[in-house]
Every structure is written in C-alpha cells, then in structure tokens.
Amino acid sequence: ALEAAFELTRLEGIIPASTVGSDIVQPFEADSYYDKIFVALNEYRLSQIVEYLQEMIHQTNQHLMKTEIWKIKDKERFKLVGVPLIRTYLEAILIIAQAFEPVLPEISDRIFAALNHTRCKFEKSKFWNQLLEGSKIQTRLILFPPTTPNNP
C-alpha cells in the first residue's frame, strides 16, 4: 500500500488536504487495533502485535484495491474522490508506522522519514488527520532492501 499510495498521488509527492468531515471510509478501525495492540504489548506478546500489523496492512491493501483510484481518469473526479482517498491511505500508513514502533523501530523510522513526519507514539486520542498538508514525501521507500552478497 505504501508504494502504491506514493505512486498514485499525482500530487508531486505533496500530502493532500485533510479528509476530516468527508465521507471517506477508513481502511481499518484504528481504535480497535489500538486496544488490541496495547493489551498485547503489556503482556509482551510481540508476535501478536505483528499479526495485528499484518491485518492492518492487509485491510489497507484491500481497501486500495477495491477503490481502484488509479483508474480515475477524470481530473475533477480524481480531485473529489482520489485525493481524499490518497490522504486516507497515507494516514493509514502513518498509523501502521506508529504501531510498528515497539516491534520494528527501524521500519517505523523509515516510514516516518518517508512521510516527512516526526516520530510520534501510537495514541488513541489522535489517529486520522495527523499528517501536515503540503509536506513533501519521499516518492520511493524501500523498507526491506534486497539481500545481496555485499548486503547479507
């Protein structure tokens, strides 16, 4: 979802305006995952947190595939539908990065850097609408570099 969202922006790597107040459906219930992750973290069940993260990523990918925003050719429709969806996917990626922090902080840091966002905790009080409109994002992000003889 991360690379797809960056590739689909058609916004020159700029984070679009907030979707607060729109009727955009979020790809996953962040509140529910926060509660689950919080319990698992307090019980030191890190593998369970990884499973929740995989679910969040899968749901975001499913949502992206269902909306098919890359097929929107009309500029006005893209502005009305595609841009708010892109913002929502970028926000989902940020939430996932926050949830990654306890188990894979290096991956989390790379996502924060790609989104040009300072490291922040996974907090229930603020999920959606954390990204700063107009911030420049990296257009490519490699979370897991390929393994080579020089880079095992």
Collect contacts of 53-56 with beta carbons under 8 A, ≥24 apart: 53/96, 53/99, 53/100, 53/103, 55/28, 56/27, 56/28, 56/92, 56/95, 56/96, 56/99
pLDDT tens digits, residue range 54-112?
Answer: 999 999 999 999 988 888 888 888 888 888 888 888 889 888 988 888 888 888 888 88
pLDDT tens digits, residue range 3-46?
Answer: 444 444 456 777 887 766 667 788 888 889 989 999 998 999 88
Q: What is the pTM of this model?
A: 0.78
- pLDDT greater at residue 64 or residue 123: 64
